[in-house]
Amino acid sequence: VPADLARHAILTPLVFGPEELASGVWQQTVEPVDALFIHAHPDDESLDFAVLMAALGRRGLRIATLLLTDGESGIDRYPSRTVPAGYPAGRLAGETLRTVRVEETRRALAILGSDYYLRAGWRNHPYNRRADELPLDAIMAAWGGEEAVVTQVAQVIAALAPRLVVAPDGPSEAREHFEHEATGVVVRRAIEMERAAGRGPGAYLISVDPFQRELYPDAIAIPRAPWGEDLRAVQGAALSQHHTQADASVIGIRRLLDLPFEYYRVVHWGLEESLDELLGVAGGVRSEATPR
């Protein structure tokens, strides 16, 4: 059962959909952010970014989250889940599943502390076996073409002017979902586009799977309780909101909540503050290999 939102939420995210992103009207509502988190699907933000996002959010930093798809081609775990208030009865698919997963993500981000939830709404491809995997050029074509998708993400970065961008790796050195890798490629190229224009974030991190971190020996480690509060517990409440997704509300909770660290690779760090200073790490406790 999803954790009680009234007990765990720290804010109410503003949600902007594909039409608003395409028109640019959303830019009239937002303010510059400290951190922009970008990923492929609903639940990825809670699986990969939760400790870092929750730490920054609870420090009062302004956060935005951009998800490139709505997870509409995924599998609803019904009948292995309950049917809480607000959930249609039966197995969900397609547009109905999209609507529910957007709401699940909004609730998760309310707990993690993201002020803005931006939805690109690009096509989500099914992924149930290795034969479903697609090459990068096929994903880019389905999303609207490489130039168009990179430009749209670059426009989001320019509009939000984040000091820090966090995204998956792409191409990844680890075994990852093909749309995660595509997202990483898009973000990397969008940041390159922004830097060529004399803009771009001061810092850029990529998330590292804790179960494949040996492939990233230079990864930094974010402690689960940087200043006392156990942010893995916050992550558990966020993961539980993704009630239709076994990867989050079952497997994620089972595998992640006992881990002491969340891992990232530093692609670039040009901020005056160290990462520990952004996190407010107290008492001399430091992340491993903290960027300066």
Q: The domain spanning residue 57 has which CATH number?
A: 3.40.50.10320
258 is a domain residue: yes
* More reliable by pLDDT, 98 or 85: 98
Write down the pLDDT at residue 289. Answer: 46
pLDDT in tens, 24-41: 999 999 999 999 999 999
Name the strand (E) or helix (H) holding 39.
Answer: strand 35-39
Confidence check: pLDDT of 287 > 70 = no
**How much is the average pLDDT of 79-104?**
95
**Burial of residue 283 (number of CB atoms within 10 Å: 0-12, 13-18, 19+):** exposed
CA–CA separation, 240 and 97 (whole Å): 16
Q: Is 158 helix (H, G, I), strand (E, B) or coil?
A: helix
289 is a domain residue: no
Write down the pLDDT at residue 177. Answer: 84
Confidence check: pLDDT of 189 > 70 = yes
Write down the pLDDT at residue 283. Answer: 46
One-letter amino acid of 88: P
Question: Do the beta carbons of residue 95 and residue 14 sit within 8 Å?
Answer: no
106 is a domain residue: yes
134 is a domain residue: yes
Confidence check: pLDDT of 21 > 90 = yes
Residue that is written with structure tokens 């096929």 in the block: 138
Confidence of residue 64 (pLDDT cuts 50, 70, 90): very high
Residue 230 sits in which domain range? Answer: 5-279
89 is a domain residue: yes
Pairing of strands 203-208, 261-269: antiparallel
Confidence check: pLDDT of 290 > 60 = no
Q: Number of folded domains in the chain? A: 1
pLDDT in tens, 110-156: 999 999 999 999 999 987 777 788 899 999 999 999 999 999 999 99
**How much is the average pLDDT of 235-263?**
97
291 is a domain residue: no
Name the strand (E) or helix (H) holding 182.
Answer: helix 178-196
Write down the pLDDT at residue 172. Answer: 81
**How much is the average pLDDT of 246-275?**
96
> Mean pLDDT across the chain, nearest whole number?
94
290 is a domain residue: no
Write down the pLDDT at residue 282. Answer: 59
286 is a domain residue: no
Q: Percent of the chain having pLDDT more than 90? A: 87
Pairing of strands 220-223, 261-269: antiparallel
**How much is the average pLDDT of 205-215?**
96
Task: For the full predicted model, state whether its pTM sits above 0.85.
Answer: yes
**Residue 288 to residues 59, 92, 262: CA-CA distances in angstroms?**
20, 42, 11
